[in-house]
Structure 1
């Protein structure tokens, strides 16, 4: 199924690498006009160039969305391009896995700013610009850690579980405005950002416990995000779509 996103304007946070980058590429391939957000121009520009080289439409918003003001600026830049915003993907995160005695206040604050508070600020700003007649779709990137957690992930698991709570509550509140809010819950996916927490032994263990016998890919997750953002999912809201090869519900 190749979801048609022609003419839609999509803002993707944390799109300079990993799942965010692949989502930007796939949405552009489906016809969306993509606003690529990340911290710095050197992260944003290569993704914009890649999309344009492939014949897609894209522009950049190198803004730190960890503050309310930063998120407002990113959404305003996206809206200003075509006077509309149809899709918002809250993908940005800053992650540290630590044992409970090692957790420091600055770690919690940064993880909350980037991965939790920014989602709330994005909802505020999206409501202001998404047209109730056309509607809109918001996809929050959560994790299977919101459903089943491991050691050394208290802050991460708590934030991702919170994202699912935000998703459900926002779906209830924004449904009358024709704005759908869903989440995607990936399992472990090899990306630039997850390298420090992966090794061959861990990967082999995960693969052995996964019914489909492999790790997920950024392509797997991006396709799911595109589906949730598209009209193919027009009667889906408040959902948490688990994309994990079956590992969460078959190893209990």
Structure 2
């Protein structure tokens, strides 16, 4: 893999598993110094150790980014550790699918804290530490649920739709500082977090409706995130890149 991100500092939230973990691996393989963030040390440490065993550079920050002070400290510590800050991947999420009559206030509050508010607070902190001339790249992980929704996903679809709005507005505001802001919209991919909502019948149905004839993988999504973070996407901002094998726009 090329080293096009050599020396750049990247923070990935929710990097202890799934898409976040694979993104950490791929960013490190491309030369970035990766800050692995997740809620618990036991999630962070194995990812950092794995990156180092592959010859990459990484350090871990176990903090709760669902609170404003947590994401502020994570970004500040990343900057202080490396004296620069270049790439932010807002990947963390906490998800529950519930029918409308079953939605509880505590569910909404936690999903908003992790998946919505943390993105806003992270933008504030990233702007404060990104070099005004060198700029940087922010990639928000949304979902195809922002484009095409299913039953029992009112809160999740609402939050992911809002992430696209945040992405566009932030790109408009931060372009003058050479900060690009984009989003990826993955379809459902097999991860530890999606396991509870998947079964063989659902997977087979999804594969049958997908033009490329397979489920996506965490590697597919991570490659897209790395692209948007890199100079290859240097004139791309305010975009939502759908990474779904074609399923969203080819089924009516």
- Per the normalisation by structure 2, the TM-score is 0.99
Query: Which blocks of at least 5 consecutive residues in structure 2 are unaligned?
Result: none
Find the counterpart in structure 1 of residue 103 from structure 2.
103
Find the counterpart in structure 2 of residue 29 from structure 1.
29
**SS class of match (1:241):** strand
**SS class of match (1:27):** helix
Find the counterpart in structure 2 of residue 47 from structure 1.
47
Find the counterpart in structure 2 of residue 188 from structure 1.
188
**SS class of match (2:5):** coil
Aligned residues: 252
Does the Cα contact within 8 Å between 2:145 and 2:157 map onto a contact in 1? yes
The alpha-carbon deviation at position 46 of structure 1 amounts to 0.1
Alpha-carbon distance in 2 for matches of 1:48, 1:4 = 20
Query: Which blocks of at least 5 consecutive residues in structure 1 are unaligned?
Result: none
Does the Cα contact within 8 Å between 1:10 and 1:34 map onto a contact in 2? yes
Alpha-carbon distance in 2 for matches of 1:77, 1:102 = 39
Aligned pairs for 1:18-97 within 5 A? 18-97=18-97
The alpha-carbon deviation at position 82 of structure 1 amounts to 1.1
Does the Cα contact within 8 Å between 2:3 and 2:29 map onto a contact in 1? no
Find the counterpart in structure 1 of residue 251 from structure 2.
251
1:127-181 CA-partner distances (Å, limit 9, x unpaired): 1000011110000000000000000000000000000000000000000010000
Does the Cα contact within 8 Å between 1:132 and 1:178 map onto a contact in 2? yes
Alpha-carbon distance in 1 for matches of 2:72, 2:188 = 31
Aligned pairs for 1:127-138 within 5 A? 127-138=127-138
1:27-61 CA-partner distances (Å, limit 9, x unpaired): 00000000000001000000000000000000001
Deviating 4+ runs (over 4 angstroms): none
**SS class of match (2:221):** helix
The alpha-carbon deviation at position 2 of structure 1 amounts to 4.5
Find the counterpart in structure 1 of residue 225 from structure 2.
225
